[in-house]
Amino acid sequence: MVLTFRKAVPSERDEAQRILRSAFTPYIRNLGREITAHHYAFLPAAIERGDVYFAVDGNEIVGVAATARRDDGIYIDRLGVDPARQGTGLGSFLLERVEEIARSSGLKELSLETAEMAEGNIRLYRRHGFEIVRRGPPSHGMDAHMRVIMVKPL
């Protein structure tokens, strides 16, 4: 596996959505919900801003990191890996590249939110230096599952 990391371009919105949808469908179903049309409505604007990145193996897009600048850091809004490639280190690859972007931009932290029940995600983020700073219900109110907000100071 020879991975490259690059920004998504507008013509790749459908591919970004495909990866995120396939990665998130089991997670969302565990929360008792289904992915709706609005779930990825943010993608075109995020791609235009340059806040969506791909992990690419050869010519195949295998992972997506959708981010947003917040204050002095980068918020990792969505991190998704093609289900056939999960467990191969792609999540770590994406996290490391996003951290490199933040550091090279002089930013002070990375942050994210995940479901408290997503123990595998929490373990992954902790391995990369994220710590839980808060727990609480989701701000969107679409389910009652507790979330953990995690931060990694840079």
Quick one: which of 68, 74, 65, 133 has its CA closest to 103?
74
**36 versus 12: which is more confidently predicted?**
12
Give percent above pLDDT 70 in the chain. Answer: 99
- 3-153 belongs to CATH 3.40.630.30: yes
Cα four-point dihedral sign 130, 132, 127, 40:
negative
Summarize pLDDT for 21-45 with one digit per residue, the tens.
Answer: 999 888 778 777 777 778 889 999 9
Specify the pLDDT at position 153.
98
Distances (CA, A) of 64 to 27, 113, 140: 16, 16, 22
The full set of domain ranges for the chain reads 3-153
pLDDT tens per residue, range 67-100: 999 999 999 999 999 999 999 999 999 999 999 9
Could you tell me the pLDDT band of residue 145, with boundaries at 50, 70 and 90?
A: confident
d(CA 83, CA 125): 18
Q: Which residue has the tokens 């995690």?
A: 150
pTM score of the predicted model: 0.92
Which amino acid type is present at position 152? K
